[in-house]
Amino acid sequence: MQEQYLDPHQTRARPPTDYENLLGDAIEKAFAAGVHDLEGICAQLMRDCVPSPGGKPWTPDLFESEMKRLGA
């Protein structure tokens, strides 16, 4: 019998886009480096050249709004 909650992508309606994969990889890289604050995550996104909405520099407010948009 298959366990009920073992599929980590069970709520995903579609595969992630290239942008979402790039963003996720950069966030994981920041966490792996011990970065857990929004300023540090935004700095990592800029170092990794992750494009932001509208081409603006990543800021904590922009990061939060993008996470909210992607999570909707």
| Residue 61 placed within a domain | yes
The chain-wide mean pLDDT, for the chain, equals 89
Higher per-residue confidence, 72 vs 26: 26
| Residue 1 placed within a domain | no
pLDDT in tens, 13-39: 788 899 999 999 999 999 999 999 999
| Residue 55 placed within a domain | yes
Query: Residue 71: what pLDDT?
Result: 84
Show Cβ contacts of residue 36 under 8 Å, excluding neighbours closer than 6 positions.
30
Give the structural domain span for 53.
18-71
Query: Residue 9: what pLDDT?
Result: 63
Domains contained in the chain, number? 1
Provide the CB-side half-sphere exposure for 57 (13 A, CA).
4
- Between CA 32 and CA 62 the distance in angstroms is 22
Whether pLDDT at 4 is above 80: no
